[in-house]
Structure 1
Amino acid sequence: MILEIFEIIAPVFLCAGVGYLWRKSKQPYDTALVTRLVSIIGAPCLIFSTLVGLEGMAGEIGEMLIASLLAVSGAAVVSFLALRGLGLPWRTYLAALIFPNAGNMGLPLCLFAFGEQGLALGIGFFAVTATLNLTLGNWFYSGAPMPWKALKTPIPYAVGLGLVLMATGATPPDVIVKTTKLLGGVAIPLMMLSLGVSLAELGITQPKRTVMLALLRFGVGLGVGYLIALAFGFEGAQRGVVMIQSAMPVAVFNYLFAAYHKRNAAEIASLVVVSSALAFLTMPLLVYLAR
């Protein structure tokens, strides 16, 4: 069991470590460009090519979409009440506490733990959290209405089209499948490298509060994920993916939004670093519980 867990988490450590060492050695890395490439091209192609390559999973993916929405909602309620109790502004911290890094860290972990089935389920979870993070998360930090923001990200369209093809049994042209699979293949490696680069660039401020909030993110996420898996009667890969994705650390997008809207970006950056470090430390336990 120990060797099996090591074989699952080691690639995540190593890939992120390459990105970390690359940036620490003063090598150039255009994070903004890579983020746009992944979010606009890589991730949608990965989602689409994975979904159309699987058969008989439309129902499971649909359940995962609902579970993901419930996970974010449950974490939002608990985290909002916790922030009110701590006297901290919710517009600054709430998005960081409820939107996990289900892409950069969650997808490769789901893939290594549960294979292609785990990746497909993880993509269903990631599609919801990424869409909400890019819309509601941005709105939390800005305070401005943005009703059409969700229509600007291709991720939900890739999920919807993939699910329709899965449900109907329709097969897209082979050239489309091969092209999207080729483009989608860059998504996970770039996500892992970008995570390592981000950890190398960001610092730590307010260590006590940051550690407390990082523990809150992990504890609430894992607890909500476990309860949702229990309520849905999930087993195997479904149960594991919900627990893993729900317990992932703070998504890097939250730091980008905080910096853009000038909402204590330094502390959100600290939360990304500390929660990611906590995730790496607790990853063996998380994988053990999920499996």
Structure 2
Amino acid sequence: MFATLLDIVIPVFAVVAFGALYGRLRGGAELGYVNRANIELFTPALVFSALIKYPLALGDHLPLIAAGALVILLPGLLLSLVRFKEMERAALILPAMFRNTGNLGIPLMVLAFGEQQLGAIVILFVLSNLLHFSVGIFLLSANASRWLWLRSPMLWAALAGLLVANLQIPLPAYVVTSASLLGQLSVPLMLFALGIRLMEGELEHLGLALKCNLLYLLAGGLSLAFVVWLLPLDPAWIPLLTLSVALPPAVLNYMLCEQYQCQPEKVASIVLGGNALSVLVIPLAVWLALHLGG
């Protein structure tokens, strides 16, 4: 399992490292255009294509949806009670709530728990993205319109994907293939942009990043214990939720904070620190999850 984990985590760091090297050689790079294209086009295409590929029976998974929402929202509520002078509230809370359920969470959960759990895994991924582009943008847009999140392409792409999948609306093969190709650009671009940002002189925030990530894991563990106690969950879902709260912060947190100018340099360090810490945390979380599931 540890070798499998390295096979997934090392490529993530490799793409970040190439971004850092490129940024260093080129003396930095303008990320605004690339990040905007990723948020407004590539990431929505990723979620739309995932929902079409793995249609969900939402009615059978309502307790899981409730549990997934709570383990996302409760850590944010707990962290809102913590005060860091050097951190804005939104920059502190977002990485606590939104974990790397996509490019790290999905392959890890499938490897650990099998493809028979893929439907539940995709539910957690889509739910996280829906909340990220609704609640997350709501928190970031404190100085803008509170309804700005309704303009998020990600939100409408997810709703469109759910509609197409559940109503079994036929789409031409070229539409599905185009969406899939666009979506495949999303994660590498996120990681590459993160590497460029980290080479802009903000590595001194790694101490703060470690402290924040330890708090996130504590808040996630407390939230998970409360949710398992509160809700009537299928035992097969508890390992998925256990691993989901142990995942590192999503790279998308950095991209959104970059777009809304909410301390992106510190959030970039938090994301990197969380991914570094995950090499130790995730094997423990997988071991615990497998025992809970057994």
| Correspondent of 2:7 among 8, 11, 31 | 11
Is the Cα–Cα contact under 8 Å of residues 258 and 268 in structure 1 kept in the other structure?
yes
Inter-partner Cα distance in structure 1 for 2:31 and 2:110 = 24
Matching residue of 2:39: 39
- Tell me the TM-score normalised to structure 2 length: 0.75
Matching residue of 1:68: 68
Inter-partner Cα distance in structure 1 for 2:115 and 2:227 = 22
Output aligned runs, 1:124-203, within 5 Å.
124-141=123-140, 143-194=142-193, 203=202
Inter-partner Cα distance in structure 1 for 2:7 and 2:122 = 19
Q: Deviations over 1:39-98 (max 9, x none)?
A: 3333323322232233564345655543332222211222223449x9976355233333
Tell me the secondary structure at the aligned position of residue 202 of structure 2. coil
Q: Which moved more, 1:24-33 or 1:239-248?
A: 24-33
Inter-partner Cα distance in structure 1 for 2:194 and 2:205 = 22
Q: Deviations over 1:122-149 (max 9, x none)?
A: 4433444334444543454553242332
- Number of positions where the alignment pairs a residue of Structure 1 with one of Structure 2: 285
Inter-partner Cα distance in structure 1 for 2:163 and 2:136 = 27
In the alignment, structure 2 segments of 5+ residues that lack a partner are none
Inter-partner Cα distance in structure 2 for 1:193 and 1:121 = 29
Tell me the secondary structure at the aligned position of residue 99 of structure 2. coil
Is the Cα–Cα contact under 8 Å of residues 88 and 263 in structure 2 kept in the other structure?
no
Structure 2 residue 234 is the aligned partner of structure 1 residue 234: yes
Tell me the secondary structure at the aligned position of residue 81 of structure 2. helix
Matching residue of 2:53: 53
Provide the alpha-carbon RMSD of the alignment: 3.7
In structure 2, give the amino acid aligned to 1:6: A
Matching residue of 1:243: 242
Matching residue of 1:21: 17
Is the Cα–Cα contact under 8 Å of residues 15 and 192 in structure 1 kept in the other structure?
no
Q: Return the offset for 1:282.
A: 1.3
Inter-partner Cα distance in structure 2 for 1:189 and 1:256 = 13
Q: Deviations over 1:23-42 (max 9, x none)?
A: 34336676544433433333
Is the Cα–Cα contact under 8 Å of residues 99 and 133 in structure 1 kept in the other structure?
yes
Q: Deviations over 1:151-176 (max 9, x none)?
A: 22222223223323333344333332
Output aligned runs, 1:266-277, within 5 Å.
266-277=265-276
Question: Structure 2 vs 1, CA of residues 201 and 34 (structure 1 numbering), >3 Å: closer, same or farther?
Answer: same
Inter-partner Cα distance in structure 2 for 1:173 and 1:76 = 41
Inter-partner Cα distance in structure 2 for 1:43 and 1:221 = 25
- Tell me the TM-score normalised to structure 1 length: 0.75
Question: Structure 2 vs 1, CA of residues 203 and 33 (structure 1 numbering), >3 Å: closer, same or farther?
Answer: same
Identity of aligned residues (%): 23
Is the Cα–Cα contact under 8 Å of residues 141 and 263 in structure 1 kept in the other structure?
yes
Question: Structure 2 vs 1, CA of residues 200 and 188 (structure 1 numbering), >3 Å: closer, same or farther?
Answer: same
Tell me the secondary structure at the aligned position of residue 234 of structure 2. coil
